[in-house]
Amino acid sequence: MACETNTLLIFPLLFVAACYMQQCVYGKSQMPCLFIFGDSLSDSGNNNNLVTLSKVNYKPYGIDFPTGPTGRFSNGLTSIDILAQLLGFEDFIPPFANTMGSNILKGVNYASGSAGIRNETGKHLGADIDLGFQLQNHKTIIARFAIMLGGAQQASQYLNECLYYVNIGSNDYINNYFLPQFYSTSRVYSPNQYAQDLIGRLSQSIKILHNAGARKMVIVGPGPIGCTPNAIATHGSCIQEQNAAALIFSSKLKSLVDRLNRKFTGSKFIFRNSTTDFYASIKRFRVSNAACCRLVLNSLCALQQTPCENRNEYMFWDGFHPTSAANKLTALRSYNSSNPDFVYPMNVQHLIQS
């Protein structure tokens, strides 16, 4: 019962610690629903049926996932999978591309590998579902909610209680700005202007979500995109120019979140800094500059190749994406940031303590 009343509070994330102590983390989630917008860090299968090089529904992806390859860009769970578990969701949030057999009232995952805030981002790899399209898909789901809940008003009230997770923007750098052979943006914009352009677009998207009932939102800034195994393999060390560009975007994103909190006083927007997470995690892994699997073009894992065995010692699974061990740290840190009294479960304490 205590858990149920939590959903009435402005931002239930802040109150789950008490609930955790009462062990109701299992079986009852802290909010009724979770919607996920983003890129390959969160994708759970939306690209599987698209014509694109950016899909991973093959082995060795998913080697540590209960059902094998699913389209997740990791060996096991993504950080939002783990965060959802911590929040008490019993099932994974279904990908929009396949909600068959799932209760969409618990939320939907719209994230798509190679997708960006700008609609041309990543398209040299093939099709993807850019942020604008993800919002369109959310509209489709909202229409179904109205039917399921008996009207637009009821749907809107229900949508107010959901958590919205937005983690997008890295591809606008990795798969756009820093690929001048495919995209002209770096000739048109300075890093500062480009970040401003992305923030303008993202701000519009967030306002669309707010109009569609979103009141609790976690907005995740990019990590050091110049320190992926891909960047290190092609450049010899971290590409500081890319890290610097991502930091400009991240700092403007933080300001945007501050502005949104001032403007929409009945809503709560939380900024997460992935760069902080990266440097907190890197110390925990023996290998942080190379991938666990054998790569094609320093990017994705080669088909059917046997990956490293000691996956908990690797920060990166492939050329761009963290192992599920690294995702676990990110999720736990994210969870703890809203519940400082949170006690890490026994099975991850060895990852947390140095």
Ligand X SMILES: *[C@@H]1O[C@H](CO)[C@@H](O)[C@H](O)[C@H]1NC(C)=O
Residues that bind ligand X (CB under 6 A): 119, 247, 250-251, 254, 273, 275-276, 279, 336, 340, 342-344
Q: Of 64, 172, 277, 318, which residue is the catalytic one?
A: 318
Give the pairing of strands 295-296 and 300-301. Answer: antiparallel
Does the active-site annotation cover 318?
A: yes
Q: Which is nearer to ligand X, 156 or 276 (CB)?
A: 276
Closest approach of ligand X to the CB of residue 306, in Å: 35
Closest approach of ligand X to the CB of residue 149, in Å: 31
Q: Of 138, 172, 210, 321, which residue is the catalytic one?
A: 321
Does the active-site annotation cover 197?
A: no
* CA-based nearest residue to 137, from 46, 76, 223, 53: 46
Does the active-site annotation cover 91?
A: no
Closest approach of ligand X to the CB of residue 340, in Å: 4
Q: Which is nearer to ligand X, 147 or 280 (CB)?
A: 280
- Rounded-to-5 percentages of helix, strand, coil across the chain: 45, 10, 45
DSSP states along 94-153 = PBGGG-TTS-GGG--B---TT--SSTTTTGGGB----HHHHHHHHHHHHHHHHHHHTSHH
Q: Which is nearer to ligand X, 44 or 327 (CB)?
A: 327
Q: Which is nearer to ligand X, 70 or 339 (CB)?
A: 339
Closest approach of ligand X to the CB of residue 136, in Å: 10
DSSP state of 177: I
Tokens 């990795």, residue located: 174
Catalytic center residues:
40, 318, 321
